Structure 1
C-alpha cells in the first residue's frame, strides 16, 4: 500500500499478518501499538514513544487524519487497485462525482455565498444554514461549477432537502 503525506511524499508500506511489523520503503520496522481508548493509541517504534489520535477516517476518499504527539497530519492511502487504474489511465474512476448538495439538517438559510455558473473548489463556503441557533457554514464537497440553486435566503429547509446542484 502507498501512503502519501500532505507534502506529497510517498511511502510504500507493507504490514505482516498481525500488523506488528512490516516495511516502509523496503526498510523493516517493528512497533508496539496499544489502544488506550476509542481513537487514542500509544505507539512505541525504535524505542521512541508516540501518542496517536485517530481524528478522522474517510474510507470513500481513502484519507486518514491523525494527531501524533500533538501535531496533525493527513495521509492519503493508495492500494494496488488504485495503481492499476492509474496505469490504465482510468484515474477518473477513483473520483466520486457529487451532483447534488442536500441539507445535512433542518434549518434556515441565512445567506447564499455563490451564484449559478460560479466555479467552486472543495471546501469553499457555499451557504450558511442556521440550525438550533447555531450558524453552520455549508462547504462544497467537491470542485465544480454551480448548476442551479434550489433555495433562497430566509427559506426554511428540511433535512436532506436539495440546496443546489453541480454541473
Structure 2
C-alpha cells in the first residue's frame, strides 16, 4: 500500500509555508505535559506550548520560547476550497445569487415568495464530487428561481433573484 502524503498549508501571523505529513512525522518532538512540548530542529531547542486551540476554525495560539504566535492550518480540503474560489467574496448584487462554480443543482431549499434571512440555506450544488450548500448573503424575499433540480449551471450563472 502506498503511503499517502498530505500537505498542510500553515499560516503563522503573515508568513505561510507548507508541511507534509512526512515532515510532521520527522519532527524531533517530545510531549512534556498536556499541551507542552520540547522540539529539536537543526540542533536548536524550542519549548512549545499550545495556549489555545479551535479545531473548528483549525487555529492555534502557541508559545515558542516565550513568543506567542497565531497559527492557522489548512488541510487538503481547505486548500481545494480556496483554489476553487469559494472563499472569495464576489462582487454580485445582494439581490442576485449566482453560481460560485460550475456544477449540478441537487436540491432547491426555498420557494418563490419565501422571506429569508442571511445564512438561510438556498440550494445544494454538487461540484467536483462535493455537495456545497449555498447560503443567503442577506435578507430578502425570493423573487424568482432561475434553475430547477438536476440543472447544470456555469460559474456566475444567475440561480436565484431576490427582492
Larger gyration radius, structure 1 or structure 2: 2
> TM-score normalised by the shorter chain: which range applies?
0.3 to 0.5
Normalized against structure 2, the TM-score is what? 0.47
